[in-house]
Structures are given as structure tokens and as C-alpha cells.
A and B are shown apart, each in its own frame.
Chain A
Amino acid sequence: MGLEEFKDRNIGVKNYITVQDDNYPKTNGEVFKQIVKRSLKGELFTGLKITFNMMREALFKGKMHTVQYPAEKLPIGPRYRAVHKLLALLESGENRCIGCGLCEKICISNCIKMDTKIDENSRKEVLEYTINMGRCIFCGYCAEVCPELAIVHGQRYENASEQRAHFALKEDLLTPLDKLHLQKEYEGFGAVSPDADEKIQKTPLQY
């Protein structure tokens, strides 16, 4: 490429292919011809025919595109990133989170806050865990980074609430004890795939 071509700044206007090039009428005669053609072609009636057929099919063949939203919901993708869930351990019902703080660190909008302490068994205990849903951008980093699969993205996409406080409570996110049997293991964004066991080598302690 020569210097000339480099200096040419009118790149945008070149090599343009107009996809649809109408033949616009140029003279008055052509304008008149177009008007007559369009008036007599009955394009308007084609439009009427289409809408009438739409109505006929909607009325008699039940071809509707409406979802009766609160009563009927569309399925969403399994990896959709909606409101978080804090999963519990299936055996004990205890919170899975080990309080490592990785999610708090990685969260790019700084909406995870947690409070931990060392308990009497010298284990880390999570005292408080809040996600400010008003700030969260649902990027999924927290679920991605969590080593314990404790925080995942659930399927609850209806986030409207009357109170700000509802957007940050751990109780709302954590699976309640009586619902533990309903907790599905590998679901939601941030969870490993169902065939993870085959893919991952066991730790040396296992064998």
C-alpha cells in the first residue's frame, strides 16, 4: 500500500454497496407514473388482507403470541444469571460458604459485604453475608470464583420489591432448611457441569 492510500481519509465513502437501491423517479412524468402504478396496484389492500388473515388465525386457530405473564412464564436458560442463591450443604443444612472472601474481592461493583470471625473450633464462621442487589450488575464473577459452589446464580428474575432491604438479605438468598430437599445440586450459573466428576481427577487423598 502506497503512502497516497494511507493519507486518504475518505475511507468510509468508498467501496460502499447500497443493498437496496430504489429507482427514485426523477422527472415529473416518472413521478406521475409511479403514483398511478401504486394507486392501481392495490398495495393497501394487500396490507388489509394480511391483517385480516392474522386476525382469522388468531381467532380460530389460536395462533397467539401473548404470554399471560404472571400466570404463565417462559422458561429461561439454565445458565441465566438472575438473583443469586447461597446454597447449603445437603447433609447438614449448613451454609456452604467458607468465608474465604473471594467473591467480596472480585465483585466489580462492590456489592458483596461479609462479616466473619474465627469460632471456638478455630474455623472461620460467616456471620453476615449481604449482596446489594441494587448495585449488582449480574456479571457472574462471584459465582465463577467461589471455590465451594456456595454462591450461584438462581432462576429468580423477578426482582421487584417494595423495600430496599429486600435486596440485600442473606435469608432471602440462602436456601431455607425446610426447602433443602428441593435444592438442586448442579444448577444455575457458577455451578459445575453435571459430568464434572468424570472430568476432574480425584485428589490424592481419595485413592
Chain B
Amino acid sequence: METSIIIETIIKAIVVLAVFSALAGFTTYIERKVLAYMQRRLGPSNVGPYGLLQLVADGIKLFTKEDFIPQNAARPVFMIAPIITAATAFIAMSAVPFFPEFELFGYVVRPIIADVNVGVLFVLGVASVGLYGPLLAGMSSANKWSLLGGARTAIQLLSYEVVSGLALLAPLMLVGSLSLIDINNYQAGGFTSWLIWSQPLAFILFVIAGFAETNRTPFDLLEHEAEIVAGYATEYSGLRWGMFFIGEYANLFTVCFLVSLIFLGGFNDLWFIPGGLAIVLKVMFLIFFFLWTRASWPHIRPDQLMWLCWKILMPLAVINILITGFVMMF
């Protein structure tokens, strides 16, 4: 019994790691294609059919590139920083239930690595630890652009963290549990029982915070090329740079799964669509939405982000909690 659980967990961890690293790579391809079509270009199209092998080419390039460490950099910190980003991104996934339970060769598989009863808290906590990666990278690079990027990481963390936490509080009050499986089961009643209908404001706030957390475009302050070269990643090359990006895309998936699980009904069956497929569709739509906004919206200044988060979103979140509380009371 004990060993079977250990083996099962190890297999699940390996599967999650493999699937999501591959997906992270694939998302870079999708992102380039979607952005290209939105800007009426073609995107990768020469390597392989529809440019699909571009992924492999990029992978080979990243693997074989020189691993460069600047002279005055704080070496150990510089070397560890990308690992923090990538590792925390995957650790955060361990508490996310990706699919409903299914049976494989008569063995019930629960597609969650660790069903901790504080799932949401764990995922949010570990994901925000991930921002230590860019922060330490920026501070250890011995480069002023990187330092600016690192400083902006701190700003970003200070801005969105409070919003994402407070925004989630209201739906959690309704559900009464921090476990993502409980949250999912709360919405088992079909389309109308989705939490987005009872908590629309929380949904919007959490998605905005999600944008900041994954540093996607309206809030991609950390490495905005037009302003600070490449921000915290300026001095990184090769695989270390690649790890930042695998971490970033893995984070993107985590946030999309979180949004789908908490607000969009999770992996419950949707009309005729089975639950496993439903959540994949939701996550795919959210990822597309993230790419879509990248093509459409301008990037904002760090002070604007702070202003937005502290002066607009946080009060809204608090008001939302108050209203939810009153509604639950009476």
C-alpha cells in the first residue's frame, strides 16, 4: 500500500514535469503563431511543417549555447536564480488537480500529486516564491538593466500579491474550503453553479492579478525590452535563460488551471462534454486569452501598476469581501 502510493506519486510527478515542460515549449510556438496572425505576419514557418520543428531547433540552440556568467556577478546566486523560477513553477503544480479521477487498468488514478487541504494557499504561496527567481537574477547579474528588472519584480510582487489573495477570499468564503478539489466539487451543479456568476468581480480581479503574476503583457514590467533591454534576463543565455521561460510558461498554465478550477467550473462535466475535456478547453481558451491580450494591449508603467493594484483593485476586492460577507450573513 505504502510503496504503491510512493511509486504512483513519483510517476505522476514525472508525468507532470514532462508534459508541462513540453507544453511550455509548445506554448512558445503557439504564442508566436497567434501573435503573428494577429499582426498579419506568418510566424515560424520554415522549419518543418508549419514551422513546428522550430521548437526543436530552438531547444537545440538553447542547449548548445554558451552558458555565460558575467565577471562581477554573484556566481552562486546567478546560477541558482533560474532554477528557483522553474522549480517553484512545477512545485506549485503539485497541488493542482488537473483532471477528474479516472480508472487505468482497474486502478483509480487521481490526477493530483498531493491533495493538500490548503491547496489554493499552497499554490499561490509557492508561485509567488517563484518571483525570487527574477528578483535574485536581477540583483546578482552585475548589470544595471537587470537590477532595474529586479527592482520591478519587487514592485510587481508588492502590487499583485495582495490583490490575488483578497480576490480569492470571497469565493473561498462561499466554498468554505481551501482545497482545490472541494472548490471544484462546489461547482458540480453545471454551468449555472460556476463561481464566476456569483463572484464576477473576484474573477476579474484574480485574472488581472494572474496577468501580473505570470508577467504577461499588460504587466510585463520585469523584462520589457523596449525599456530595460531584457530586464532581469539580460545577462542570461542558453539553458538558464530557457529555464526562466519554462518556469514562466509553467506558471501560465498553473494560473489558467487555477482560474478554471476556481471560477469556471473546474473539471466538472459540462453538458455533453466530459470533465477532462472541459477543463482542457477552458485552459486552452484562457491561454489564448493571455496571448490575445499580448497582441492587443499596451504595456503599463510600474507606478501605474502599483496605482492600479493598491488604489483600485485592492479596495474593490475588500468591498467584494464585505458584500459577500453580508450576503452570507443575511
Known: A44-B297, A47-B297, A58-B37. A64 touches B292 (CB 8 A): no
B173 at the interface (CB under 8 A from A): no
Docked CA distance A52–B38 (Å): 7
Chain A residue with the shortest CB-CB distance to B308: A35
Question: Nearest Cβ distance between residue A102 and chain B, in whole angstroms?
Answer: 47
Interface size class of A (residues with CB under 8 A): 10 to 19
Docked CA distance A64–B292 (Å): 18
Contact for A51 among B41, B296, B312, CB less than 8 A: B296
Docked CA distance A174–B312 (Å): 71
Docked CA distance A189–B40 (Å): 34
Interface bits B289-314 vs A (CB < 8 Å: 1, else 0): 00011011100000000000000100
A55 at the interface (CB under 8 A from B): yes
Q: Which residues of B contact A59 (CB under 8 A)?
A: 37
Known: A64-B42, A66-B42. A48 touches B296 (CB 8 A): yes
Docked CA distance A2–B86 (Å): 74
Question: Nearest Cβ distance between residue B44 and chain A, in whole angstroms?
Answer: 12
Chain B residue with the shortest CB-CB distance to A43: B297
Interface bits A6-30 vs B (CB < 8 Å: 1, else 0): 0000000000000000000000000
Q: Which residues of A contact B42 (CB under 8 A)?
A: 64, 66, 68
Whether B41 pairs with A65 at a CB distance below 8 angstroms is yes
- Most-contacted residue by chain B among A48, A55, A58, A68 (CB, 10 A): A55
A170 at the interface (CB under 8 A from B): no
Q: Which residues of B contact A57 (CB under 8 A)?
A: 40
A124 at the interface (CB under 8 A from B): no
Q: Which residues of B contact A160 (CB under 8 A)?
A: none
Whether A55 pairs with B41 at a CB distance below 8 angstroms is no
Question: Nearest Cβ distance between residue B229 and chain A, in whole angstroms?
Answer: 26
Interface bits A56-92 vs B (CB < 8 Å: 1, else 0): 0111000111101000000000000000000000000
Interface size class of B (residues with CB under 8 A): 10 to 19
A50 at the interface (CB under 8 A from B): yes
B39 at the interface (CB under 8 A from A): yes
Q: Which residues of B contact A44 (CB under 8 A)?
A: 296-297
Q: Which residues of B contact A106 (CB under 8 A)?
A: none
Whether A48 pairs with B37 at a CB distance below 8 angstroms is no
B34 at the interface (CB under 8 A from A): yes
Docked CA distance A28–B39 (Å): 38
Whether B40 pairs with A65 at a CB distance below 8 angstroms is yes
Docked CA distance A44–B293 (Å): 9
Q: Which residues of A contact B295 (CB under 8 A)?
A: 51, 55
Whether A54 pairs with B37 at a CB distance below 8 angstroms is yes
Whether A54 pairs with B39 at a CB distance below 8 angstroms is yes
Contact for A48 among B39, B40, B41, B292, CB less than 8 A: B292
- Most-contacted residue by chain B among A51, A64, A65, A66 (CB, 10 A): A51
Known: A64-B40, A64-B42, A65-B40. A55 touches B296 (CB 8 A): no
Contacting residues of chain A (97-144) with chain B, CB-CB under 8 angstroms: none
Chain A residue with the shortest CB-CB distance to B43: A66
Docked CA distance A51–B34 (Å): 10
Whether A47 pairs with B37 at a CB distance below 8 angstroms is no
Q: Which residues of A contact B39 (CB under 8 A)?
A: 54
Q: Which residues of B contact A58 (CB under 8 A)?
A: 37-38, 40
Question: Nearest Cβ distance between residue B217 and chain A, in whole angstroms?
Answer: 11
Chain A residue with the shortest CB-CB distance to B42: A66
Contact for B38 among A35, A51, A68, CB less than 8 A: A51
Docked CA distance A59–B38 (Å): 9
Known: A66-B40, A66-B41. A48 touches B34 (CB 8 A): no
Known: A64-B42, A66-B42. A50 touches B37 (CB 8 A): no
Whether B40 pairs with A52 at a CB distance below 8 angstroms is no
Interchain residue pairs with CB less than 8 A apart (30): A35-B312, A44-B296, A44-B297, A47-B296, A48-B292, A48-B293, A48-B296, A48-B297, A50-B296, A51-B38, A51-B292, A51-B295, A51-B296, A54-B37, A54-B38, A54-B40, A55-B37, A55-B38, A55-B295, A57-B40, A58-B37, A58-B38, A59-B37, A64-B41, A64-B42, A65-B40, A65-B41, A66-B40, A66-B41, A66-B42
Chain B positions within 8 Å of A, measured between CB atoms, are 34, 37-42, 292-293, 295-297, 312
Chain A positions within 8 Å of B, measured between CB atoms, are 35, 44, 47-48, 50-52, 54-55, 57-59, 63-66, 68
| Known contacts A48-B292, A52-B292, then 15 further A-B pairs from the complex at CB < 8 Å, ordered by chain A residue | A35-B312, A44-B297, A48-B297, A51-B296, A54-B38, A55-B295, A57-B40, A58-B40, A63-B40, A64-B40, A64-B42, A65-B40, A65-B41, A66-B42, A68-B42
